[in-house]
Amino acid sequence: MPKINKYVDIDTVEREAKKDLIDRHSPFITVEGVAKKCEMLPVKVKMGNEYTHPDDFDHYIESITLFDGETKLAMATFVPGTLGNEKSHAEVTFNIRPMKNKLNLIAHGYCTKHGIWESTPVVVEVAE
């Protein structure tokens, strides 16, 4: 199994020294709107917050995957050049339909050069 890099597992000193590397590879989840059971909920996942990621032939974000705990909800794949061969934030909005009272959202981003990176979990309360 490939190593999964997590922002929270990197100590503060190393995080500060490698802020650009860590930030550009970390997925950030944003839930748009209020979660209601059985209604579509837009969930945006963006790779990097402050720093952009390369979009080169041999170094790019290949995929973004969204999970609810251990359950895979959605996945988007990219090919080199999707972002115009310029540094950018790969991002995608997944429209999901919550069917339970709480979601534990986690995203993985896969960089072809630096492996899998996991987001900080986002807990979403779902209204009836």
Average of per-residue pLDDT across 29-43: 95
Q: pLDDT for 74-118, tens place per residue?
A: 999 999 988 899 999 999 999 999 999 999 999 999 999 999 999
Cβ atoms of 43 and 82 within 8 Å: the answer is no
- Sequential DSSP letters for 30-72: EE-S--BTTS-EEEEEEE-SSS-B--BTTBSEEEEEEEETTEE
Provide the pLDDT for residue 13.
Answer: 57
Domains of the chain: 4-125 (2.60.40.730)
What pTM does this model have? 0.86
